[in-house]
Each structure stands twice: as structure tokens, then as C-alpha cells.
Amino acid sequence: MGCGKMGSALLEYWKQGDEQFTIVDPGLMQAPDGVRLFQERSSLSDERFDVVIVATKPQIIGDVLPDYVAHLADGGYVLSIAAGASIDRISGLLDGAPVIRVMPNLPAAIGQGVSGICASPDTATDHLRHAQSMMDRTGTAIVVDGEDQLDRVTAVAGSGPGYIFEMARAYVEAAKGMGFTDEQARDLVLGTMAGTVAMAQDQSDSTLGDLRNSVTSKGGTTAAGLDALNGDGTMSRQFEACLAAAYERAVELR
């Protein structure tokens, strides 16, 4: 139900499984390979589906979701990627159907996303297992205990790419200020960030503090840079404020 930017990105990886997908989206003119597309729900006739995927804008859910009650098969469930629409709201609009909410993040578009999964209490084990299987195709998926925890996933991972892009942008601008061209600065910064993350993932037995210390010689250049960056804890406090603000907004939207 709906297939915007995020829905389309996820679908490219979901298609790698055994499921067959049908999209209903009045604004979509061409379906991905192997997927049926209808502009109108009425074109579904009396078809019923094992899963109804809510991938539309949250503000129109109340108007259109009740029409899909008849299309959810007995024993089926609802998978929602609609940000800000609670499980209770979605379930209520679909006659009490079990609901699994998913909060993906942008790198899911390249199969490297981090997603949070939260299920309603009446969700069957098979439902949750299936939802996990689908999200695992798009990167890493973690199951959380409730929607408050999902809001915290939103603050850390859902909004996280924006924080990283902003850090990279500021880092690149600083590199350009040292005399590098746009291309040189971007290569230097993104290459450094990508290699450092890959190393941290490869050396997961080491803490991030240990890895930082391994490249920080006393009185050296890295120590001087780190002291300017976070010597008084300003950056740490800014990250705490960043996550708190995003979490509080996620709660408000729910």
C-alpha cells in the first residue's frame, strides 16, 4: 500500500525472497520487474494477501487503510514502515489485525540498513520471523520490546544517517579550508570514515575507546586534534542532546 522512495528501496531487496508482491499506488507509473502494480485499490477485486505492507504517508492512513481490511487473509499480518503511526492506530484501522512496525534507515537502499522491528502482542511467531527475514535482506535488523524502544531506534539509527552526513559535510569543509579541492577533500574524508568503520567492525573485540587510543600517541597530532574536538566533552554532550531531541520528537509524532 503505497511505494515511495523508502518502499521502493526496500522492495528491491525484498524481491530476493520467495514472496510475490503487488503495489497499489496512484502515483506510481511503472512497477519494478516482477511486481504487479495497480493505481487503484478497486483493481484488487476480492484478492486477499498474507501481508499488507503500509508504505504510504502517515497523514493519509486514516482515510485509506480501512479499505484494506477485506484484503488481509485470515492468519495474515500488517507490516508498517509508516513513520509516526502507532501499532494501536494501524491495528484499529484494520479491524484489530496483528501489526509489526519497522523503522528502517536510508542505507537500506543499498542493502546496508539498520532497522528496528516492534510487534504487537498478538503477533504470531511466524509473523515476526517472516518480518525479520524480509528486513535482514536490507541489512541488519533488531527486534525491540515496545514502541518506546522503537522511538529510541529512530533517534539513533533512523535519523542517524543525517547526523553522519552532517559530520562528513563539516569534516569535508574543514579539509577544503586546509587547501584541498572538493574532490580531494571528499575522497580523504569519506575514505577515512569508511576505512575506520570497517576496521571497527572487523575488530569488534576491541572497544571504540581502545581503537581510538591505538592511533593516539601522547603529545602527537591525533592527540592534539582530539583535544580540540572533544577535550572538554562538548561533542559528547552534543550527541546526547541530539539523540534526546530526536527521541522526544519521535514520541510526539506517535
Percent of the chain with pLDDT over 70: 100
- CB contact set of 203 (below 8 Å; sequence gap of 6+): 211
What per-residue confidence (pLDDT) applies to 29? 87
For residue 26, the SS3 value is: coil
Domain boundaries, the chain: 5-144, 160-253
Which pLDDT tens digit goes with each residue over 17-58?
999 999 999 999 888 889 999 999 999 999 999 999 999 988
Would the pTM count as exceeding 0.85? yes
What's the DSSP call for residue 30? S
User: In this model, does residue 254 exceed pLDDT 80?
Assistant: no
Which pLDDT tens digit goes with each residue over 144-193?
999 999 999 999 999 999 999 999 999 999 999 999 999 999 999 999 99
Give the mean model confidence (pLDDT) for residues 132-143.
96
Backbone angles phi, psi at 173, to 5 degrees: -60, -40
What per-residue confidence (pLDDT) applies to 59? 87
Q: Alpha carbon 185 to chain centroid distance?
A: 28
What per-residue confidence (pLDDT) applies to 243? 98
What per-residue confidence (pLDDT) applies to 129? 97
What per-residue confidence (pLDDT) applies to 10? 95
User: In this model, does residue 84 exceed pLDDT 90?
Assistant: no
5-144 CATH, one of 3.20.20.70, 2.40.50.100, 3.40.50.10860, 3.40.50.720: 3.40.50.720
- CB contact set of 153 (below 8 Å; sequence gap of 6+): 103, 116, 142, 144
160-253 CATH, one of 3.40.50.300, 1.10.3730.10, 2.60.40.420, 1.10.10.1400: 1.10.3730.10
Write down the residue that cell numbers 602527537 correspond to: 220
Which residues sit opposite 78 in a β-bridge? 52, 99
Write down the residue that cell numbers 576491541 correspond to: 206
